[in-house]
Structure formats: C-alpha cells, structure tokens
C-alpha cells in the first residue's frame, strides 16, 4: 500500500462519521494517441482511476460502519467529465480514465444502494478557471470547444458546485448511478 493511500485510509478512519465524499482529483496530459508514453498512461490511470477508486472505497467503508447507516445513508460523488461520455482526439487517456470512472460510479451505485449510499458522477464540460485560461488563449482550441457547446459558454466553478450540492442533498434522495452531464449540450449532438 502506498504512503498516500495509507494516509487517506487513516484520515477517513479518524472521522467520527462520513456522509458525503466529493471524489475530485484528476489530471490530463493532452497528446496524440500514438505518442502516449507508458509513464503518462500510468500517471493518469493512477490519479484518475486508482486514487478515485481507493478514496471511494475508504469512504464507503466508513459510511457502512455507521450504526444508523440504513437511515443515515451517504453520498459519493465522483468528479468525471463530459469526456467520460464521448471521445476526443488528443485526449485518449483522459477519455479512458473518465469512462472508467463512469463505469465505477454505476457499479458502486448498484452495490451500495441496499445500504442507502448513493453514488453519482458530475460530468462538466470545460470549466472556466485559471488552469484552463491558457488553453483558451489559443484560438483554434477556443473555436473547437465553443463550436461543440450549443449553449455557447463554458461551465463556471459555481455551476459545478451547485450540481455537487444537489447530488449531496436530500433533494437527490432517489438519484443514484447516474451522471449529471453539465456540458451545455455537447453530448446531445
């Protein structure tokens, strides 16, 4: 077991209880499929899939420990991407990892539903942040993205936060095993 995984298990185990996990770690290394190195593949699989898996597993274990788990329940929200629903050139590994996260979400939802633990994903389009700003300075990339979003705008951090709050709330008490795709219509075409 890696030191990071050990630390994560200890941190979650130390909590008195756990009601919600927002599983929000991920990265991308855009590059052509034929140029993807083993190092890049392993790095993205390790963070986007393995780390998400083990964080969700530790959270589910903690939620299952609650003596009132049937009434208390829980919510695990995996941060995915619209790229977990489509493919894109130069993003094969990212798409692979986000499709894996979508499958994990569905399988976990089925397995944990009898324990009143809901598992969903949030799948935003590109979000306007300081991290994405440099990408949108390239006109070709900007045109490519905006040309695929019928609403004609990027997601804002507040949009993503609102989706997470909804899925964590009692308002989503019957929602499990789904992906809240927040892509401005990208995947509808």
Which sequence positions are flagged as catalytic? 94, 98
Cα-based distances in Å from 75 to 5, 65, 94, 150, 175: 21, 14, 25, 31, 10
Closest to 76 (Cα-Cα) out of 94, 62, 90, 92: 62
Strands 117-124 and 179-182: parallel
Question: Helices marked H in the chain — which ranges?
Answer: 3-14, 38-44, 52-65, 69-72, 92-112, 133-136, 139-146, 157-168
Q: Which residues lie across from 182 on neighbouring strands?
A: 124
């Amino acid at each position: 077991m890696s030191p990071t995984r050990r630390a994560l298990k200890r941190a979650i185990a130390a909590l008195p209880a756990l009601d919600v996990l927002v599983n929000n770690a991920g990265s991308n290394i855009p590059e052509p499929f034929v140029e993807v190195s083993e190092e890049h593949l392993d790095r993205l699989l390790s963070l986007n899939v393995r780390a998400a898996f083990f964080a969700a597993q530790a959270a589910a274990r903690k939620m299952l420990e609650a003596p009132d788990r049937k009434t208390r329940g829980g919510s695990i929200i995996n941060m995915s991407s619209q790229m977990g629903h489509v493919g894109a050139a130069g993003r094969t590994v990212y798409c692979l990892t986000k499709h894996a996260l979508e499958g994990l979400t569905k399988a976990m939802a089925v397995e944990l539903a009898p324990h009143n633990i809901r598992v969903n994903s949030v799948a935003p389009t590109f979000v306007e942040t300081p991290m994405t700003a440099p990408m949108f300075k390239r006109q070709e990339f900007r045109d490519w993205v905006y040309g695929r979003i019928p609403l004609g705008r990027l997601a804002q951090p507040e949009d993503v936060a609102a989706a997470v709050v909804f899925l964590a709330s009692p308002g989503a008490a019957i929602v499990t095993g789904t992906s809240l795709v927040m892509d401005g219509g990208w995947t509808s075409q």
